[in-house]
Amino acid sequence: MRRETGTPRDGWEKTVEGQGLAFQRAVHPKGLPRPYWDESVHYVFGMDEVLALEEQVEELHSMCLRAVQHVVETGRYADFAIPEWAREDVARSWERRDGHLYGRFDLRYDGTGPAKLLEYNADTPTTLVEAAIVQWFWLQDTHPDGDQWNSLHERLIDRWRALDLPPGPTHFAWTSADESGEDATTLAYLQDTAMEAGLATTAIAMEDIGWHEEDRRFVDVDGRWIRSVFKLYPWEWMLGDAFGRSAVRHATWIEPLWKALLSNKALLAVLWELYPGHDNLLPAHLDGPRGMSSYIAKPLLGREGASMRIVTPSGTQETRGSYGAEGYVYQGFQALPSFDGQRPVLGAWVVGDESAGLGIRETTGYITDDTSSFVPHRIEQQ
């Protein structure tokens, strides 16, 4: 693994925006010295590295599924801040093996040892358009004989075909509270993959989903029965909404309700309990740092690196935010590796239960947040 510099393509801004990255300006805070999509640099991997990482990712995913089974068997829902009224519904969703689509592992990796799991974005992961489409076309333009860890598009289509969905169109729902357009663009891309798979689809804002009390069903703005929904709307928000009790028992949701356990950072502590000392895990606990001299406190339901606290012998760093009411997990801290002063996080994608691709975000700090840039990658030809 190494970081290389290069010359951006002429007119790259128009190119990437035409490929779906129209939100690249809105999603990135103004005044930063580099753009959100930065193709002046890229990372290069050996095929042996990629094959090893793929294997580690699939093992991590299997471990996470085992963790869900453990939580359901032991009833540890309180550790995940699951409301009491929803716990049986989570169990039933898991026992039915309600179909799931995709997820993204965030990994620490420096090219010299096993990747370390930082967290699992298993409910509403984004950066998908960048990883699946934009960096693929960058590769074709700049390294036409090259390769990339990227089978996302094809695997998404195949996965849609494999899901057992009820009849009628699948609704694709985003929240109109997203002002950057990232969620809407991600949703439109996923809707395209579903249509390529042969599904009938229609788009809707979460705020426009109605509840028909007499018929006990969800309906869209045209009064059509909503039977299946892909949502870019977190389960923790849904469980806190007025319609949450109806949502867990009516309609087929993608991602399914059991994914609320995987998108919660309490998962990190459960994994460490089940697989203590595993090469791909960092120590993690729910009841405090337990004597760790270097650790990071992460809110169970935080986003974009907000409300975190890094504690090391040399001092403490904190990020702003309003998360943490549900509690924290305390994870052993290993600084992200530095490549030319930038610190990458590998976003390794899973579609269904299989490894499917890689996206990289990097920043100068220890926490990847909304100031981070997305950079492409390629696999070096042997």
Closest CA to 52 of 4, 1, 8, 97: 1
With a CB cutoff of 8 Å and minimum separation 6, the contacts of 346 are 53, 106, 107, 108, 109, 115, 358, 359, 360
DSSP letter for 39, please. T
Query: What gap in Å lies between CA 301 and CA 234, rounded to an integer?
Result: 10
Query: What gap in Å lies between CA 5 and CA 42, rounded to an integer?
Result: 6
Across 54-196, the runs of DSSP E, i.e. the strands, are: 102-108, 116-121, 170-174
Helices 266-274, 47-74: inter-axial angle, 10-degree rounding: 90
* Contact indicator for 284, 270 with CB cutoff of 8 Å: no
pLDDT number for residue 368? 82
- Span 269-275, average pLDDT: 98
Assess whether pLDDT exceeds 70 at residue 10. yes
| Percentage of the chain modeled with pLDDT above 70 | 99
pLDDT tens for 111-149 read 998 999 999 999 999 899 999 999 999 999 999 999 999
Closest CA to 72 of 90, 99, 97: 90
Structure token pair of residue 84: 């009491």
0.75 exceeded by the pTM?
A: yes
Q: Residue type for 221, please?
A: V
pLDDT number for residue 26? 67
- Tokens 């996965």 locate to 159
Closest CA to 193 of 58, 98, 102: 102
Task: Give ∠ CA 65-67-73 in degrees, rounded to 5.
Answer: 110
Please report which confidence band the pLDDT of residue 304 belongs to, taking 50, 70 and 90 as the band edges.
confident
Helix, strand, coil proportions of the chain in percent (round to 5)? 30, 25, 45
Its sign, for the CA torsion 319, 325, 331, 336, is negative
Highest mean pLDDT: which of 270-284, 302-316, 360-374?
A: 270-284
CB atoms inside a 10 Å sphere around CB 146? 13
Assess whether pLDDT exceeds 80 at residue 382. no
Supply the mean pLDDT for the chain: 94
Query: What gap in Å lies between CA 308 and CA 320, rounded to an integer?
Result: 8
Please report which confidence band the pLDDT of residue 25 belongs to, taking 50, 70 and 90 as the band edges.
confident
- Cis before residue 17, ω within 30 degrees of 0? no
Query: What gap in Å lies between CA 259 and CA 84, rounded to an integer?
Result: 17
